[in-house]
Amino acid sequence: MGKALHRYQMIADDDRIVVGVSGGADSLTLLWMLNERLKRVPITYELFAVYIDPGYEGSFGESLEWYGAKLGVPIRVDYTDYGPYAHSPANRENPCFLCSRLRRKRLFEIADELVCTKLALGHNKDDIIETLFMNICYAGEISTMVPSQTFFQGKFTVIRPLAFADEQLIRKFARDQKFPEFINPCPSAGYSKRQEVKNFLKQLYRTNKKVKGNIFRAMSHVNTDYLL
């Protein structure tokens, strides 16, 4: 995480940062590390953890609030109906795409309300690779999420400090730290297009241990002379 923060200059002194929390290992690891890091770095910044509850039965919002209090970083839970709406007949788009877009929009609104210019998300190396393949297969373009990206004419910057971290390593860290495990109540959990791409890539990685690293490096070494 330190390498990613340094290379992309993600955090500056006196930053106010909204940390998007989902309840998964990635976002809990991100929150824990950003909070723990404050004790060791020569700069100061403020963290505002936010969970956008999509509105399903079986919400773990209260449990997340309890964990945040225990960690010393209060987690704000914003209750919405984005999930059921995205899965309703009123939505003609992919439910995961719409729900994600609505939750991201709400995070920006909260960041604006809290006068925060940074939004930290827990996407990891695997997420970035998967997004590349999803955009190729379903959007017809070669692109992915980037470790640091500005939005709205530079008003906000989305940072992904775990961009260089493998999903497997993060899962191990979460188990070692005994982070609480929350069950995603979304009816599409485990059946999304992203999960299909993830399963495909897992099979590909088994053929050669260098494949994942080569794909990740390829996104920084694009030979445009050999693209249409």
Buried b / exposed e over 169-189, threshold 16 CB at 10 Å, is ebbebbeeeebeebeeebebe
187 belongs to a structural domain: yes
228 belongs to a structural domain: no
Question: What one-character DSSP code corresponds to residue 148?
Answer: E
Lookup: tokens for 170: 């993060």
H or E stretch covering 19: strand 15-20
175 belongs to a structural domain: yes
Lookup: tokens for 11: 């955090």
Q: How far is CA 220 from CA 13, 141, 194, 223, in A?
A: 28, 16, 22, 10
Domains of the chain: total: 1
This prediction's pTM:
0.93
Q: Over the stretch 175-220, which tens digit does the pLDDT of each residue have?
A: 999 999 888 888 877 777 888 999 999 999 999 999 999 999 999 9
Q: Over the stretch 69-127, which tens digit does the pLDDT of each residue have?
A: 998 999 999 999 999 999 999 887 788 889 999 999 999 999 999 999 999 999 999 99
Q: Which domain covers residue 100, as residue numbers? A: 2-222
139 belongs to a structural domain: yes
CATH label of the domain that carries residue 21: 3.40.50.620
Give strand pairing partners of 42.
none
Contacts of 95 (CB under 8 A, 6+ apart): 86, 87, 188
